[in-house]
Structure 1
């Protein structure tokens, strides 16, 4: 059994912030080919240093203690100890080094990845398929891994808002709640949905940056953790109170008024802010339909998706809440909204659950008249 660093030692600190210091990465995969691919992809960034490699979870645990990497990339399925078990062992020992899982784009891969995220992994990327060229594989891993590594390693205190928060208007009962998330979102959503004491009295619409197979699995998990009925949005269905609709991977989710009803719209328009589904698309369409009777929640995630949508919500008289830095895996998306002066509240997940639980009013969701 590998002995991990005792929890009495200082907590994980990540990057020291020293000028010129490179991000230290440990690469863990039982495939020698994949270890070389990941190492080669990370080697394209001079600010990243691969400090070690491991072929199984047990070896990875020992090297985390010895090398103190800033970030670990972790395969899911490995001999001796798989990636999920390794993540559980790290978190159980009080080691909070960020871990990025490498997963296959399959039903089984999606299930295993969500298990790893629930165990405490920070994020995931999908492995390149065996049908693409070496250059395409390197390009995929470089584009997917490097932004996540930098976002997770950077850390630091939350940034001060550049603008004051929007003024508060007279309270308006919400007719819908829209939520957007990226890195760290699956676990944040699980905690939110589990904390709801009863099905919400308004529909919930969710954009989580994930591939199609993964969003279907995520919807199933959220459906099981709490009282809310959760499903992947199909498109054209009338939105109902007490139900949550997850944007399907690789498709935008929007809403449209249809007489006295509001319907979901699923479409494959080009990506917005590099994402499809995009938080901005959902928030902007919901602001147009619901006006001041809309609450928007921006959860943990890297990048700025949701900032323009939050501006549309505020302009329409709606209310914007963002997750605080302390409970976020990456305070990118919520931080961007707060910095822009678009957040009415900056709240922990516990408080956001209360906001969602009390946001609505009884009755069927209706469009703004």
Structure 2
């Protein structure tokens, strides 16, 4: 289980122990039932409200004041996409997890929801009777609730309040937060080599909050590099295909789900397909994509670590790795190999990350050359690939 709290600013003990307050919004009584049973079985999670559509959710929200909302997409009267901005208007700090079945339409709507302020998404199991699907969904949902809940509380603490909206009362009754002292792990940046190697490829790893971060990065990076870009974003298969399409429209270049055996070429973006690890290998004078379904790493497939390790093996120091927002520590081992080879590593900072897990793990391990807010990463990429100081 990912220890979300260790990846972010420390919280006062009382706030860590207070259960995360969750509202479930879904038109299926079956799904509402098993989600409630699952979550109520966890000591650190409390289901404070249940709703069967967006209209009921808005009414229940003001009564129950949840910190997190699990929001279905397809519902009668008011669907999830319509309800989302209204929920955020009630409390800008609320963490919304979109829940949908694995269809192209729902994948497209989920990505749109992320651009509208949803924090994350989760794919519903196709069958509640298939044990491994239920187990994966259960584990993933608990991780997301804990990571996003901890992030929300840390940010509220730093602002000196529990809830961001002045119209809502504090979640924790009788609780006073007076000048909390935060203990941040030290970040020791790794110096660039005096004559750094020129990157031949860019690699990006991301998870929670990743689609939003990728869209903004590629919009700003448009027209500034011809290097091939490899992306591993924690997503199921239907979602990765839609993600590649969205990136292609933004970046105005060939963005695709990677296929086994194809060459790594300039002016092309390769997205790891859901349920496949994306790696590279030498084949004569070319570098080619190699996909595999070896066991998940860090509970993930695709995982960032296999991609980065293979890039370190093939390209050595001529890699520029970017670790964006995400929970857990996927990418840490791969960045160790890249750092040993002399490759450049940049991570997104805590303030602009939805969850500072993956980038935080790399930063606090002393493996990155720079920790930057998201909007400064495209400029840094351009400078590094052109041999200029960052």
Aligned-pair Cα RMSD in Å: 2.3
Compute the displacement of 1:28 (Å): 0.6
Candidates 164, 169, 180, aligned match of 2:193: 169
Compute the displacement of 1:19 (Å): 5.7
Deviation by residue 1:102-149 (Cα, 9 ceiling, x = unmatched): 11012222122112212211111111223625x667534421211110
Counterpart in the other structure of 1:293:
318
Counterpart in the other structure of 2:101:
104
The 2-side partners of 1:136 and 1:173 are apart by 44
Give ranges in structure 1 of 5+ residues lacking alignment.
1-13, 363-369
TM-score, normalization by structure 1: 0.88
Structure 1 pair 313/26, CA: closer, same or farther in 2 (3 Å)?
A: same
Counterpart in the other structure of 1:196:
221
The 2-side partners of 1:358 and 1:168 are apart by 13
TM-score, normalization by structure 2: 0.84
Candidates 120, 125, 131, aligned match of 1:128: 125
Deviation by residue 1:304-332 (Cα, 9 ceiling, x = unmatched): 10000111110010011001111111111
1:310 paired to 2:335:
yes
Counterpart in the other structure of 2:245:
220
Counterpart in the other structure of 2:78:
81
State the aligned residue count: 348
Query: Displaced runs of 4+ in structure 1, greater than 4 A?
Result: 14-17, 135-138
Contact kept, 8 Å, 2:24 with 2:50, in 1: the verdict is yes
Contact kept, 8 Å, 2:128 with 2:134, in 1: the verdict is no
Deviation by residue 1:274-329 (Cα, 9 ceiling, x = unmatched): 21111000111111111121110001111110000111110010011001111111
Counterpart in the other structure of 2:293:
268
Compute the displacement of 1:48 (Å): 0.5
The 2-side partners of 1:349 and 1:164 are apart by 19
The 1-side partners of 2:372 and 2:269 are apart by 21
The 1-side partners of 2:352 and 2:263 are apart by 33
Structure 1 pair 306/56, CA: closer, same or farther in 2 (3 Å)?
A: same
Which SS does the other structure have where 1:18 is aligned?
Answer: helix
Counterpart in the other structure of 2:172:
none
Contact kept, 8 Å, 2:49 with 2:61, in 1: the verdict is no
Candidates 252, 255, 279, aligned match of 2:304: 279
Which SS does the other structure have where 1:244 is aligned?
Answer: strand
Equivalent residues in 2 for 1:109-188 (5 A)? 109-130=106-127, 132=129, 139-155=135-151, 156=154, 160-162=184-186, 164-170=188-194, 171-188=196-213
The 1-side partners of 2:62 and 2:337 are apart by 47
Give ranges in structure 2 of 5+ residues lacking alignment.
1-10, 156-181
Candidates 65, 73, 77, aligned match of 1:68: 65
